[in-house]
Amino acid sequence: MTLSEIIQDLYALDARLRAFELKYGVTSGDFYQLYQQGLLDDDGYEQSTEFTRWASAYSLKQKRLAAFEAASRQFVQQLKPHLSTQAFHLTPNPALMQA
């Protein structure tokens, strides 16, 4: 998976999670804790399916976010040796230029 695809996934997952949060008035993090602990009354098949989708989207976002953070740290580490002053010149990540 490319860095660009990871970032695009994050934006799409954010939109999906926001829709659930707007509907239920609960953060995805709080929902996920309740879901993992089995504390939610899913009130039938439809809500059970919705909760499963919400939990899946949240879990996937955490994985994509970890991948993005790792790629970001790696890119910053690659730039550091090229510092000639205290100023940090941030340039576009070449991994995104491949997309």
**Residue type at position 67:** A
Q: Which residue has the higher pLDDT, 57 or 97?
A: 57
State the pLDDT at residue 98.
Answer: 65
d(CA 83, CA 71): 19
- For the chain, the structural domain boundaries read 3-97
Among the listed residues 18, 8, 27, the one whose alpha carbon sits nearest the alpha carbon of residue 67: 8
- In the chain, the percentage of residues whose pLDDT exceeds 90 is 63
pLDDT digits (tens, 9 = 90+) for 25-70: 999 999 999 999 989 887 777 788 999 999 999 999 999 999 999 9
pTM for this predicted structure: 0.84
d(CA 99, CA 4): 6
